[in-house]
Amino acid sequence: MTDEPILKVTRESLASGTIMKMANERNDGAVDIASEDELYASRRRLVPDDADCSDIWIFGYGSLIFNPVVDYVEQAQARIFGNHRRFCLWTRLGRGSPDCPGLVLALDRGGSCAGIGFRLNPKNAIDELDLLWRREMITMAYRARWLTLHTPQGRKRGIGFVARPDRPNYAAPMPIEDEAGVIAAASGFIGPCREYLFDTVEALRAYGISDPHLENLTQHVKQRLASDGGVG
């Protein structure tokens, strides 16, 4: 577990480039970090600069639920089909380190996922998407895709961040004991991996969303921390 100061993910730390700067400083060369030009090009391929931004939604399934950061004008519970939430991305930066990688959530193939949809403010949606790309696409570990969000207000078209099995940081399914061990041990410059799990579960509970695997995983992580003498 690292003792370095924690940098919070905020609008300022993203817009100023501080997050990207710290990621580059801590990169041992094993992670490909996108340039500003690559981030903009990626966003433009999905949402051109001249796109109609009156009804753009973002699908939150992890940290976007408890720390959305973006400027939004509406939110709703939403479910997507064809993907499920899973700790399926290794992270050597952010919630892990080169010598002790962590795991973060992504949408993996199969099943369904309940989360929160956020409709971006149409007045500055493109700027908000660029901010979001600086947060989610810095290592291009995700594939940004249009998804169908099923909400109480009907179907909405939203952007979700899906795992890329072709990338080296994709994590295959593992026994829950191994998953818990990784999450209990790893930490990075934006915080401990365990905090990411606990905050996600707490946010899901606050919205009345049940995720049995994450609930079970939380108990395993707390047990591991207790047995190791860590903080539960």
**CA 88 to mean position of chain CA atoms:** 11
Structural domains of the chain, with CATH: 11-228 (3.10.490.10)
CB burial class (10 A; 0-12, 13-18, 19+) of residue 221? buried
Give the mean pLDDT of 129-149. 96
pLDDT for position 177 = 97
**Residues carrying an active site annotation:** 136
The share of the chain scoring above pLDDT 90, in percent, equals: 92
pLDDT for position 232 = 45
Tokens of 66: 């408890």
pLDDT for position 39 = 96
Render pLDDT for 81-117 as a digit per residue (tens, 0 to 9). 999 999 999 999 999 999 999 999 999 999 999 999 9
pTM of the model: 0.94
With b for 16 or more beta-carbon neighbours within 10 A and e for fewer, the 66-104 pattern comes to: bebbbebeebbebebeebbbbbbbbbbbbbbbeeebbbb
Which candidate, 160, 134, 133, places its Cα nearest to that of 148?
160
**CA 155 to mean position of chain CA atoms:** 23
Q: How confident is the model at residue 1 (pLDDT cuts 50, 70, 90)?
A: very low
- CB neighbours of residue 154 within 10 Å: 8
- CB neighbours of residue 39 within 10 Å: 19
Over 70: is that where the pLDDT of 4 sits? no
Render pLDDT for 167-188 as a digit per residue (tens, 0 to 9). 999 999 999 999 999 999 999 9
